Chains A and B, each alone.
Chain A
Amino acid sequence: MKSKKKDITVTLISTGVALIFLLPIVWMIFTSFKELGESLSTSSLIPKSWTIENYTSIFGADADAPILTWLMNTAIVTTAGTALVVFVDVLAAYTLARLNLPGKKIFLSIVVGALTIPGIVTLFPAFFLFREVGYLDTYAPLILPYSAGTMGVFLIYNFLRDFPRDLEEAAIIDGANLWHILRHVIMPTIKPVVATLTVITFLAIYNDFLWPSLVTSSDDMKTATVGLANLIQGSNFVNPGKMMASTVVATVPALIIFIFANKYFVRSVTNTGIK
């Protein structure tokens, strides 16, 4: 009996906290349907008179911010960047964990050592180098640099190291080649950690802000985060309804992916944190 009472109390408190916690998102969505005059003066969360004008104005022919282009850029950059990271990291981690790579120990300590150096150190030199070779404001700097991260290699390496080699050895005895082993033995084995790496990388690239803001300048090349930042700093900011409509459009794709892949995100925290 006592534990039932406790369950109800905890659930009630949690519901209250959750409502406060969700307020910014709920406010964002409701405000995007408010008219300008109302949104500037109201203390009510729910619109008195609903309007979709904020949305039609950002998608219409006379829209001043190409938000769909920005979202498309984010989609391209995020997909290509994640695919690249997963591809190079899986091959590198497998090589380090299982194959006979000359200088393996050195490469492994480089991978671990690089994790300790903060990103701010590489940011401006990398920007300068991309400018020197004339690749600013293209997809190249928006996609390629993420592949240098060593966290993914480290994750998969650790996973493989703790995993018995029996299946691989059996496959070798059966005369399987390297491609066959990778595809039919290793990939199924490392699937959970690859899923982890995929969701973290995806979200990290989707939400990255400082780096893409340095390397893009034309409106056509901006990602959603950079475009949105320009809106916050620009003259459109004076209309909260329109600002929130843009924020909803830029945020909802990530929220949907997050809710559907929630299991993998939770697992990713477990995998990247300490044991």
Chain B
Amino acid sequence: MKISKIWSTVMYLPFFICFVLFWAIPVFYGIYISLHEWSLFGGNGGFVGLENYITVLSGDNMFSVSFYRGLENTLVFVGFSVIPLVLVSLGLALLVNNIPKKLKVFFRTTFFISYAVSVTAVSAIFKWLFTGNGGYINNVLNTLNIAPLNWLNEQPYAWITILIATVWWTIGYNMILFINALDEVDYNLYEAAGLDGANWWKKFRYVTFPSIKGVFIFVLMTTIIASFNLYGQTLLITAGGPQQSTQSLIMVIQQVVFSQNNLGIGTTMAVIMGVIMMVITGAQYWYAYRKD
């Protein structure tokens, strides 16, 4: 091919400059900041080695206490949200997959539509649906003569509200992944299983699930990481409450950087959070593919 190295470089350059300026420099600068005492408004206060990391992890100061609280809250959310997020989207996919062909696109679009809604719009809607005083859900409960609940200010209702909002907001994407996987399952296998007298559960267990296992693991992994990034819903719907029980790790980091004016500690927490997420992803890859 007669296209010179110079032209290749020129064409790669726009992306490369953007990548260096807005990705590579921030990553390395972040690591650099985490090794310094650094306040947002006072700037660099000198090299401190790994002291910020020790402060964050040691457990004996207010930064560390808030870090572990945010981490624990986030892990609680990951723990109870992942199964419903994956299973509801799989359930919807199985439903859509069985719908007569003419109606399939309509229902697929319907269940996918919340993907186009921003986290702030989702929060505005669900906060007013679930607000204790004058919220729509409690008005309905009142009409049905059921005692209203203090959804946003009492646990476990606050988590339930966040979970419902998150399920509604995010299942569409995973559902599409599952629908695509289900489309690829060999139809003959179902017929053979049917002849053998298998019921729907056996068909799912021995035919459907093994065929979509790869996509299932992929969805599981991406859902765990997405739940780990919990931020907008808890900031806007519950404001981290009640008693900071829904304050997620990203909310803690933001507070340390801006309210407590400590960019050094905040960036250190962000780096640790990044490492935790990479370890989770790596461990899952290892677990999922170790047999291959």
**List of A residues within 8 angstroms of B235 by Cβ:** 229
Contact of A266 among B22, B98, B112, B281 (CB under 8 A): B112
B58-78: which residues lie under 8 A (CB-CB) from chain A? none
Q: Is the CB of A7 within 8 A of B100?
A: yes
Given contacts A114-B23, A148-B19, contact A22 B267 (CB under 8 A): no
Q: Is the CB of B112 within 8 A of A262?
A: yes
**List of B residues within 8 angstroms of A99 by Cβ:** 1, 3, 7-8, 11
Q: Is the CB of A88 within 8 A of B274?
A: no
Cα(A31)–Cα(B136), bound, Å: 10
Cα(A52)–Cα(B263), bound, Å: 46
Given contacts A120-B229, A209-B232, contact A92 B15 (CB under 8 A): yes
Cα(A22)–Cα(B110), bound, Å: 8
Q: Is the CB of B22 within 8 A of A126?
A: yes
Q: Is the CB of A224 within 8 A of B118?
A: yes
Cα(A226)–Cα(B126), bound, Å: 17
Contact of A228 among B7, B116, B124 (CB under 8 A): B124
- Which stretch (B26-34, B45-53, B150-158, B203-211) binds chain A? B26-34
Whole-angstrom distance between the Cβ of A25 and the nearest chain B Cβ: 7
What DSSP secondary structure best describes chain B's contact surface?
helix
Q: Is the CB of A117 within 8 A of B278?
A: yes
Q: Is the CB of A14 within 8 A of B12?
A: no
A145 within 8 A of B: yes
Cα(A210)–Cα(B273), bound, Å: 16
Contact of B267 among A11, A28, A116, A124 (CB under 8 A): A124
A247 within 8 A of B: yes
Whole-angstrom distance between the Cβ of A96 and the nearest chain B Cβ: 7
Contact of B27 among A11, A40, A117, A178 (CB under 8 A): A117
Q: B117: nearest residue on chain A (CB-CB)?
A: A251
CB-CB contacts of A231-247 with B at 8 A, as 1s and 0s?
11100010010011011
Q: Is the CB of B257 within 8 A of A124?
A: yes
Q: A42: nearest residue on chain B (CB-CB)?
A: B139
A206 within 8 A of B: yes
What DSSP secondary structure best describes chain A's contact surface?
helix
**List of B residues within 8 angstroms of A218 by Cβ:** none
Cα(A78)–Cα(B264), bound, Å: 32
A168-214: which residues lie under 8 A (CB-CB) from chain B? 172, 178, 203, 206-207, 209-210
Whole-angstrom distance between the Cβ of B67 and the nearest chain A Cβ: 13
Task: Bin the interface of chain A by size.
Answer: 35 or more
**List of A residues within 8 angstroms of B23 by Cβ:** 114, 122, 148-150
A46 within 8 A of B: no
A258 within 8 A of B: yes
Q: Is the CB of A18 within 8 A of B107?
A: yes
**List of A residues within 8 angstroms of B121 by Cβ:** 225, 228, 247, 250-251
Whole-angstrom distance between the Cβ of B133 and the nearest chain A Cβ: 8
- Which stretch (B79-87, B172-180, B185-193) binds chain A? B172-180
Cα(A96)–Cα(B2), bound, Å: 16
**List of B residues within 8 angstroms of A145 by Cβ:** 22
Q: Is the CB of A265 within 8 A of B124?
A: no
Contact of A269 among B26, B105, B122, B177 (CB under 8 A): B177
Q: Is the CB of B236 within 8 A of A14?
A: no
| Seed contacts A102-B5, A119-B229, A207-B117; 8 additional CB < 8 Å A-B pairs | A14-B99, A92-B11, A99-B11, A125-B267, A147-B15, A225-B121, A254-B116, A274-B214
Which A residues are closer than 8 A to B by beta carbons? 6-7, 10-11, 13-14, 17-18, 21-22, 24-25, 27-28, 31, 39-43, 84, 87-89, 91-92, 94-96, 98-102, 107, 110, 114, 116-126, 128-129, 144-145, 147-150, 153, 172, 178, 203, 206-207, 209-210, 224-226, 228-229, 231-233, 237, 240, 243-244, 246-247, 250-251, 254-255, 257-259, 262, 265-266, 269-270, 273-274
Q: List 9 A-B contacts (CB under 8 A).
A: A14-B96, A24-B126, A92-B14, A92-B15, A125-B33, A126-B22, A150-B23, A225-B118, A274-B218
